[in-house]
Amino acid sequence: MAEHKALPASELCRKYDLSMLGFTDTTQIEDLREPLGQDRAVEAIRFGIGVRHEGFNLFAFGSSGAGKTETILRYLEPEAAAKCCPDDWCYVNNFAAPDHPKMLRLPAGRARELAKQMESLAEEVRVVISAAYESEDYRTRFDVIVEQFKLKQEEGFETLQKKAGEKNIALVRTPMGLALAPSREGKVLDPEAFSKLPADEQEQIKKDIGELEEELQAAVRMMPEMEREQRREIVRLNREVTSFAVDHLIDENREHWRDCPAVLGFLDDVQEYVIDHSDVFRLSKDEAVETIPAQMAGDFLRQQERVINNCQVNVLVSHNPDGGAPIVYEDNPTVENLLGRIEHRSEFGSLVTDFRLIKPGALHRANGGYLILDARRLLMQPYAWETLKRELRSREVRIETLSQMMSLGSIVSLQPEAIPLDVKVILIGDPMLYYLLSQNDPDYYNLFKVPVDFEDQLPVTDDAISLYARFIATEARKKSLLPLDRSAVEKVMERMTRLTSDKERLLSHARALSDLISEADHWASARSAAMISGEDVQQAISAHIRRSDRMREKTQEQFRRGTMMLDTSGAHVGQINGLSVLQLGDFAFGRPSRITARVHLGRGRVVDIEREVELGGPLHSKGVLILTNFLAARYTRDKPLSLTASLVFEQSYGGVDGDSASSTELYALLSALSDVPIRQSLAVTGSVNQFGEVQAIGGVNEKIEGFFDLCKYRGLTGDQGVLIPQSNVKHLMLKDEIVAAAEQGQFHIYPVASIDQGIEILTGVTAGVADEAGNFPADSINGKVQARLDGFADAAVRYARSGRDDKSTEGADV
């Protein structure tokens, strides 16, 4: 039997020695300028933010806390600062169609200036118009018009009255109009007096009245038209007077905005509107309150406010002209927060709105620049993802509420003019979302053409070690932590390697690093140290583990108290110590389990009891099925596999998945078949393929540590250890006490490449090599297994024959 050597202690963990870097603490290390190990991501970011073509938006994905946003901002900020500042956007009243507010585009920084000017203009307009109406000139001209029309009317009546008077007919005012009646000496004739007149005179009077009535009717009919004409004249006068008062105010503004045709157009509209509505400024606020009834004064003042407000400017987005392109991070990407919203206010019990209540969304603020969104939050908000895609496709922002989109409700709202959109969207999320979207959303590749894939590990090389030390120093300074001495840096790197579960990798995860050194800083500060030492880092690691390992302790306790049965000494047939990993939150720990196997004559089937009771996952079942084929192919080439074997994780009441126990189960089966006991001082992990090769598994460090802790509790005998796949040796980053135990020969880690190697270590018996005929030596494990299986096969044949013979006899008897 070949000698199987345990791994030397040096193979069990990577220890960093940074003495060659020539620093004693991180104050001597300069900052890291580039993100660590993110070459691919950085290349993608540079490309993505540089290319201006449509659809080249970015999706940055990587594990949470990998520093995606920070890395993106590092490259985005200088790029954005170097770009031209985008224009300002405003909404103004659409005087022709108030439900459709107009947008106004202004050079960067000038929107607020315009808004301020319009505010003061409106106030000035209020004053000058009121003054114009108060002026003596206006009053005189107004009275002239009124008097002219009165005179015109009176002229008609006076002529008529004169004419009537000549014929002894009076023009009489009735409650509702005018009438013509016979009179004598200024007094209307009563019926009696009239009847005493000669008949021909009566007839003449009636005839005269009839003739005069035609003229009276014509005069009366002219009155409405004359009143209309009078109103028109007054309107003309009002326009003239207010125009004279307002024009020069607006002209001053017009001069200021000569370079902005859109503003000039707006000022024209305002001028026309103010002149058309100058009536509302006839009285000042105080006069209105004093001179007209309260309700009318209220209406009047509201009208004034409405006219003033309609001339205002709603600044949607205004930029600092020297500020470059905006970078907006929207933390809560709801539809309203993306698109903006139209607010309402309550007015006499109903909800009303106008262009001033249009509020900008993130797309407005980021227009001309960059918008960063959290992909998960975006997708969790109803309709937000679809809305964002629609705006990006149409390249314009159209403010719509959810109820408008879904055609729900009928509240009066606005339809503001859409604003052209030119924005680069950067989604940040985890890889799962990226792959789901790219696979399931047909629009995805049209709109997000640039994936930014963040790496969370980097290979351990001399350069990487040097850069990592700078990474640690940079993070410490960024967080304003105490500097780390060299031992602390080494310890941090050791921990970061352990977190990758790979001796040849370092974790480039910014948050994990930052958390660790922040905790170490706390412990260092607690002891009033000027610097973080390796002990502080170790304390931080231990405290972190301690906070999370209640369940591990409970599990260990069950073994210690004998509730969970597991031997760490002696030897048993068909019984072996397997290892599994439990992941609870961000903490994982190993737990040993007893696995047992029983065999008997049967139909060539290995029964996975876990699967039978639906506690085994598909990967576990896969591993067990591989065993069946391994046994059949290796030991019973020309005979049927006539056994039934059962495998079980003893005292396992939860689910089991993964194939990391398949080699362990195979060892138990081989022991059961060969009837050779397995050393219980050893535990095993590793999967196996159909050729008996042992393959790598995950969580090797936690598994070893789980078994070690139990052995340590029961007392290290020097005989204990763990069999691991050879290919997992590079992943070993075991804790210091295991390394120390291994160094002292108290605990052993055996790398295993094949089942034969493993079974020899476990049983101390040669595995045996098959000869050309496929037969194994009889005293080897494999020989014993082969002999047992052959025995099962023969027994099965005998059993089958005996059954047939019984049936023949029974037939003969009949």
Residues in touch with another protein (CB under 8 A) = 136, 139-140, 150, 153-154, 157-158, 161, 170-182, 186-191, 194, 206, 209, 213, 216-217, 220-221, 223, 293
Residue with Cβ nearer another protein (70 or 227): 227
Residue with Cβ nearer another protein (197 or 543): 197
Residue with Cβ nearer another protein (84 or 193): 193
Q: What residues contact 719, with CB distance under 8 A and at least 6 apart? A: 569, 679, 681
SS3 call for 96: coil
User: Closest approach of Cβ 222 to another protein, in Å?
Assistant: 11
SS3 call for 313: strand
Interatomic CA distance for residues 807 and 814, integer angstroms: 11
Pairing of strands 396-397, 350-352: unpaired
Nearest residue to 520 via CA among 481, 546, 490, 556: 481
Interatomic CA distance for residues 714 and 549, integer angstroms: 20
Q: What are phi and psi of 371, to 5 degrees?
A: -125, 120
Residue 235: Cβ within 10 Å count: 13
Which helix (H) or strand (E) is 542 found in, with range? Answer: helix 534-548
User: Closest approach of Cβ 316 to another protein, in Å?
Assistant: 47
Radius of gyration of the chain, Cα coordinates, nearest whole angstrom: 48
Residue with Cβ nearer another protein (185 or 771): 185
User: Closest approach of Cβ 196 to another protein, in Å?
Assistant: 13
Residue with Cβ nearer another protein (197 or 402): 197
Nearest residue to 35 via CA among 686, 645, 639, 513: 513
User: Closest approach of Cβ 161 to another protein, in Å?
Assistant: 7
Pairing of strands 350-352, 345-347: antiparallel
Residue with Cβ nearer another protein (209 or 607): 209
Rounded alpha-carbon distances, angstroms, from residue 64 to 122, 432, 510:
53, 11, 10
Q: What are phi and psi of 668, to 5 degrees?
A: -65, -40
User: Closest approach of Cβ 101 to another protein, in Å?
Assistant: 41
DSSP lists the bridge partners of residue 646 as: 598, 607
User: Closest approach of Cβ 153 to another protein, in Å?
Assistant: 6
Q: Running DSSP on this structure, what letter comes out for residue 583?
A: E
Residue with Cβ nearer another protein (179 or 328): 179
User: Closest approach of Cβ 292 to another protein, in Å?
Assistant: 11
Interatomic CA distance for residues 30 and 28, integer angstroms: 7
Residue with Cβ nearer another protein (179 or 696): 179
Residue with Cβ nearer another protein (158 or 557): 158
Single-letter amino acid code for the residue at 40: R
Residue with Cβ nearer another protein (206 or 302): 206
User: Closest approach of Cβ 218 to another protein, in Å?
Assistant: 10
User: Closest approach of Cβ 156 to another protein, in Å?
Assistant: 9
Single-letter amino acid code for the residue at 707: F
Residue with Cβ nearer another protein (186 or 261): 186
Residue with Cβ nearer another protein (97 or 144): 144
Residues 546-576: b if buried by 16+ CB within 10 A, e if exposed: eeebeebeebbeebeeeebebbbeebebbbb
Residue with Cβ nearer another protein (209 or 571): 209
Q: What are phi and psi of 305, to 5 degrees?
A: -60, -40
Q: What are phi and psi of 18, to 5 degrees?
A: -100, 15
Interatomic CA distance for residues 184 and 164, integer angstroms: 12
Residue with Cβ nearer another protein (170 or 716): 170
What count of Cα atoms within 13 Å lies in the side-chain half-sphere of residue 115?
19
User: Closest approach of Cβ 154 to another protein, in Å?
Assistant: 4
User: Closest approach of Cβ 191 to another protein, in Å?
Assistant: 5
User: Closest approach of Cβ 214 to another protein, in Å?
Assistant: 10
Please answer whether residues 725 and 696 qualify as being in contact, where contact means their C-beta atoms are separated by less than 8 angstroms: yes
User: Closest approach of Cβ 123 to another protein, in Å?
Assistant: 29
User: Closest approach of Cβ 171 to another protein, in Å?
Assistant: 6
Nearest residue to 667 via CA among 571, 591, 529, 537: 571
Rounded alpha-carbon distances, angstroms, from residue 110 to 89, 116, 499:
9, 10, 53
